[in-house]
Structure 1
């Protein structure tokens, strides 16, 4: 039998519990909202994230960082010189090149006679790990001595020549791009910085904790991050070489050497799009790396290597296990794959497909499943670049016939294939960046990945108009 006293106690308890739930729920929502604003997306899979997404505009907000980032789309177009094959321009702006600390650009000829085994110098220091046979055509190939003096540097202000890349290997990681890079830069008309990947568009303009470039780029960056001026300084030595090498054409000097870079994350990785001032208050990126590259170098030639996304994913997993020294196994790879697939599918419930492809919170270095969504990434580049500025290479074809691929690449870059007496310079047998660890994928893992990538593979070959890139599975 319930007395007035007991009814009072029960009513008080009931009201207290309701009050407790309300306070707790409110507190959780406040905490999640704050974490979302600070860029922590660990709650993005929960249903109420849809509400938070509409509140934050689909982005994490860091106003201080946004203010420090350059708006590349607001930069004026460069007036490239007509007597340079490479995109080069002259500026009189004092702030470009100010406080430079560049290496001097002293040059010398290296003469090799009958050395049995040696490393070939591509123009800026030796490519580590490339052993070439004794029959190498070295004539007229200049290399940088690597000394650093005040002489022969570009002035800190006043007129100065700058060059941007003529070509870019924009994707995709673990598809053989490093091996291709070290072969094509043996061409005497290509001069490059020894560091293949400056990672400006996808990485260094956002973070200050990236590894140091060697030899170092002049310190034009702010707070450790790269500015556009830093990226231009990256090509300083290549610019000096291009400037000093020329031939007479119609009574005028013509500079026919070219430079390039091979940051293979430039195409697939746009993870910090929401931090860019030109993408402020947007739920999806209006501008990606494709727009920024096009704005700076509209006629750049873009090389893309594509590999079966299932095999590429496993290769990437093994690569990072070596780089970060973590133990792996077929079971671990299966578990992280299941987790990545589920997170991507959950993301699609509350975000667009494109938004999930550029959402770094749903994958880790152990399983970057988003990189293999080739059709999504390439479509963003097709929005701004014409099809004829791309060269798409299939990794499986490259492995089978390196020479044919190199002929195709040089033809795309409008370079003559070097004399047949120097084939070892390009066709050396050693593979570059070949992984040491191996792993046999579980059948269940392979089936899961094949089902995941199948619709994107179907879209890829239709997008490219080339059935060679139609990866089919049983």
Structure 2
């Protein structure tokens, strides 16, 4: 018996049915924070972010130490602009009240300040948001590096020494977790600040408020945001602000990255009823190419139009997420971001070879100690072997059919060859 893949419409209907059941359950257990979190997850899967945020906030109000809800809440708050002005203001006001109360209840949880900073950012109170991020950083450093607090100087903001610029599903979570275990690397308030791609605020001090205010020459700091690499015009803005910064780029076999990205995206979207490539033997590559061209066309904006680009990106996401797209349209996005040669020249033009370290994820996971030694040397740090190298944010998914794999291999081959010729390296993909 062959089971067909659920269509988006069926998934949405089944998800809405689940929401109705969970909402009835809250009448029986009105104090169950996990129920509200589950409803928030379901609304997130439908890309209905406003009710998702409301339910996440209710979960935190009921259980301030339900730490698993803070990260998705922080991510979804960037989409609060999609709400009406009245609803946006009401949610932000409620959120600030709940988070301020939460910080009183959970004084040792720095990330609560990060979420509060996000709320104040959306409210337009940037100075207050900066203060929230610095409080989060202070608590984080005080917890992990108490001996460095004597060097804290809130009047002097620390610039990042390095950035991880990409890519999604290329081991950036693992890389960052390894880096911040080095005794001379101080973490930012969160791994992904997403400033240069997802923020409309043009304020250097706002960005720097995400880093610890410790200007000690023996310590470095930085962040890793995977979509910097594929976002247009980011390289030049980073160069303008931080001309000496060092960049780390992780690349992966483009077939594996595209497939992993597809499943990762649908896991975020359809958490309970995942879409699948199982049974797919052939993609309409003409349609994929058409979608790729559309993506690239939407990215063509001049250097100083980052706010317009950000708004266009959000509108594009909203338009895409509210459509019932077929597999060809959905996977085109992930294929487009696996065409590394389309993005690399911009970075190579702006930054010198000495400022850009390119690593293969395959090497990171087969020989992590050696690859991290290269990374530390690139950053000017002594080696620091770890007792364990965990694969963070592992994404499990079924293998694709041999015919689909061959089709994608044929598609990516000329792009991979161009990349190898451009860098003078062999990736053996």
Q: TM-score range by the shorter chain?
A: 0.5 to 0.7
Contact 1:199 1:263 in 2 (8 A): yes
Q: Does 1:268 align with 2:230?
A: yes
Q: Which residue of 1 aligns with 2:420?
A: 461
Q: Which residue of 1 aligns with 2:172?
A: 177
Corresponding residue pairs, total? 278
Q: Secondary structure at the match of 1:431?
A: coil
CA distance in 2, matches of 1:162, 1:204: 19
Q: Secondary structure at the match of 1:454?
A: helix
> Structure 1 residues 321 and 415 mapped into 2: Cα distance closer, same or farther (>3 Å)?
same
Moved over 3 A (4+): 96-100, 102-108, 122-126, 140-144, 225-229, 331-335, 351-367
Q: Secondary structure at the match of 1:173?
A: coil
How far is 1:226 from its partner? 7.0
Q: Which residue of 2 aligns with 1:328?
A: 275
Q: Does 1:428 align with 2:388?
A: yes
How far is 1:310 from its partner? 0.0
CA distance in 2, matches of 1:440, 1:313: 12
Q: Which residue of 2 aligns with 1:316?
A: 261
CA distance in 2, matches of 1:429, 1:106: 25
1:290-369 to 2 correspondence within 5 Å?
A: 290-324=235-269, 325=271, 326-331=273-278, 338=283, 341-346=285-290, 355=297, 364=330, 367-369=333-335
Provide the TM-score with structure 1 as the length reference: 0.52
Which of the two has higher C-alpha Rg?
1
> Structure 1 residues 228 and 364 mapped into 2: Cα distance closer, same or farther (>3 Å)?
farther
Contact 2:163 2:248 in 1 (8 A): yes
Cα RMSD, aligned residues only: 3.6
Contact 1:344 1:356 in 2 (8 A): no
Structure having greater relative contact order (Cα 8 Å, sep ≥ 6): 1
How far is 1:204 from its partner? 2.6
How far is 1:328 from its partner? 2.1
How far is 1:378 from its partner? 0.8
> Structure 1 residues 430 and 124 mapped into 2: Cα distance closer, same or farther (>3 Å)?
farther
Q: Which residue of 2 aligns with 1:51?
A: none
Contact 1:269 1:371 in 2 (8 A): no
How far is 1:169 from its partner? 0.7
CA distance in 2, matches of 1:383, 1:191: 29
Deviations, residues 144-174 of structure 1 (Å, cap 9, x unaligned): 8xxxxxxx884xxxxx422221101101111
How far is 1:97 from its partner? 8.0
Unaligned stretches of 5+ residues in structure 1: 1-95, 109-121, 127-139, 145-151, 155-159, 206-224, 246-254, 271-287
Could you tell me which of 370, 380, 384 is aligned with 1:414?
A: 380
> Structure 1 residues 440 and 124 mapped into 2: Cα distance closer, same or farther (>3 Å)?
farther
> Structure 1 residues 178 and 104 mapped into 2: Cα distance closer, same or farther (>3 Å)?
closer
> Structure 1 residues 105 and 174 mapped into 2: Cα distance closer, same or farther (>3 Å)?
closer
> Structure 1 residues 232 and 364 mapped into 2: Cα distance closer, same or farther (>3 Å)?
farther
How far is 1:367 from its partner? 4.7
CA distance in 2, matches of 1:233, 1:364: 36
Q: Which residue of 2 aligns with 1:405?
A: 371
Contact 2:157 2:205 in 1 (8 A): no
How far is 1:403 from its partner? 0.6
How far is 1:344 from its partner? 4.2
Contact 2:291 2:329 in 1 (8 A): no
1:22-41 to 2 correspondence within 5 Å?
A: none
Q: Does 1:394 align with 2:360?
A: yes
How far is 1:291 from its partner? 1.0
Comparing 187-196 with 97-106, which one deviates more in the overlay?
97-106
Contact 2:259 2:334 in 1 (8 A): no
> Structure 1 residues 194 and 97 mapped into 2: Cα distance closer, same or farther (>3 Å)?
closer
How far is 1:377 from its partner? 0.8
Contact 2:167 2:226 in 1 (8 A): yes
Deviations, residues 400-444 of structure 1 (Å, cap 9, x unaligned): 1111011101000000113xxxx4xx2414321112x32120122
> Structure 1 residues 302 and 107 mapped into 2: Cα distance closer, same or farther (>3 Å)?
closer
How far is 1:330 from its partner? 2.5
CA distance in 1, matches of 2:159, 2:280: 40
Contact 2:278 2:398 in 1 (8 A): no
Comparing 360-369 with 312-321, which one deviates more in the overlay?
360-369
How far is 1:319 from its partner? 1.6
How far is 1:309 from its partner? 0.2
Q: Does 1:230 align with 2:206?
A: yes
Could you tell me which of 390, 403, 417 is aligned with 1:444?
A: 403
Provide the TM-score with structure 2 as the length reference: 0.57
